[in-house]
Amino acid sequence: MHWNAVAGRFTPPARLAVIGDPIGHSRSPQMHNPALQECGIEAQYIRVQVPVGRVAEAFRQFAASGFLGVNITIPHKFEALDAVDVLDPLARQLGAVNTLAIRAGKLHGFNSDGPGFLRSVKEAFGADIQDLRVLILGAGGGAGRAVAVQSALSGCRKLLLVNRSQAKAEAVATEILALNFQPDVSVVPWQDDALHAALATTDLIVNATSLGMKPADAKLLPADALLPRHLVFDMVYRADSETPLLADARQAGARTVDGLSLLLHQGAISFEHWFDRPAPLNVMRDGLQNAARS
């Protein structure tokens, strides 16, 4: 790929990007470009497909082409961790990089998954993580691990980890217990009776799996275990309809939020890293919602 041509064939010029493999589905340009226009920044945000194993090379090319920053999505967040010059301490603790800021030729790596999750919970439910007992479905994966570690770092009252591979959840629990404090963390088997018991002492339920993206996906929880007092955060987003988890939660009278909120707040945090100024959140929200409806 001729990187200078990539940057130069756009008006305004491309100076920001999101990378992934694949990447055509990303709605990030529809969120960031209105924000850039609103702030009078002469730059454009584009999608770039980068193959696995070539993230470090891509970062160098972005820097050489005058880019200001990059968002990183699946499957590159772990590869990006080893491709930056300066690693933010939170990104190190969360074990992944999803935001790159290029400053004076240096590659600075950040993670907005955890902080974006905290902002989403606060906006959707008016709640702070430190006041909540949190159960995470899919706690052994990248996003689930990041949310689990962030919840522990933020001092949640209780942390319950659920994963199809219980060994992966136990590994995350061990990592969390090795931090410089002792949170109340435990692993819950993914079985109906165990979930019923755990949900009785849970405030916030987080789905960090990909289940729910397709209509035929298996249900995550027994519907009768959901209660009106539950707060349900599904990191999955579906444009055509709500996910089965959110439908069951709404039927139970629980409060809900989907993954679009997380994408918005992750994007806002990235904008703040790139430009050292508050993001125009409402403009970004409108752009994201318009893209979701199209």
Catalytic positions, written as ranges: 77
The answer, yes or no, to whether the previous bond of 22 is cis (omega within 30 of 0) is: yes
Give Cβ neighbours of residue 81 (< 8 Å, ≥ 6 apart). 87, 91, 92, 95, 96, 97, 109
Angle, helices 281-293/28-38, rounded to nearest 10 degrees: 140
Write the single-letter amino acid at 220. L
Nearest residue to 190 (alpha-carbon basis) of 214, 167, 210, 158: 167
CB atoms near residue 128 (< 10 Å): 13
Residue 239 CB contacts under 8 Å (≥ 6 apart), including other chains = 292, 293
